[in-house]
Amino acid sequence: MSKRRVRYSAELKQEAVSRMAQSKTITGLAKELGVRRKFLYLWREQLQAGGKAALERGRGRPRGSQSKAVLQPTPSAAELRIAELERLLGRKQLELDFFKRTFEQVRGAAASRTSDGGKTSIVASKPHSHSKERD
């Protein structure tokens, strides 16, 4: 459920700003005009900064302004290739780190084994008793 945006004329905006000076409360004026209080302050700032022409500005981006996409240069084919190779290098570095850690764990486990190849210090478990058969 979206609210429909209301467009106010430049004359209404200018009249509202002029009435702000004589009004006792801005909130009361906003209620009387049926606009949000923040718009009154916004219109006053626009009028002071750019005159009546600033109040007549239509919807959308002001003329002469550029979008952010235009301000950023498009990367060349070489820059795209470099970025791709850097991503690949990062993945390979992660794999290398994984295998190094794994190798260290395996080498550590092999070093803890007995070197003479004899029996380990684990005591053999006793055979489990079977249930007795009744005659």
Residue ranges of the domains in the chain?
Answer: 10-57, 78-110
Q: What tokens appear for 42 in the block?
A: 């916004």
- Out of 13-27, 45-59, 80-94, the most confident range is 80-94
> What whole-number distance in Å separates Cα of residue 80 and Cα of residue 74?
10
CA 122 to chain centre: 55
Name the residue type at position 61.
Answer: R
Assigned token pair, 7 = 């467009």
What pLDDT is stored for residue 55 in this prediction? 77
Instruction: Report which of residues 47 and 89 the model is more confident about.
Output: 89
Q: How far is CA 126 from the centre of its chain?
A: 62
Other C-beta atoms within 10 Å of 1: how many?
Answer: 2
Confidence of residue 51 (pLDDT cuts 50, 70, 90): confident
pTM for the whole thing?
A: 0.41
pLDDT tens sequence across 74-129: 889 999 999 999 999 999 999 999 999 999 999 888 777 655 555 666 666 666 66
Pick from 46, 48, 40, 73: nearest CA to 62: 46
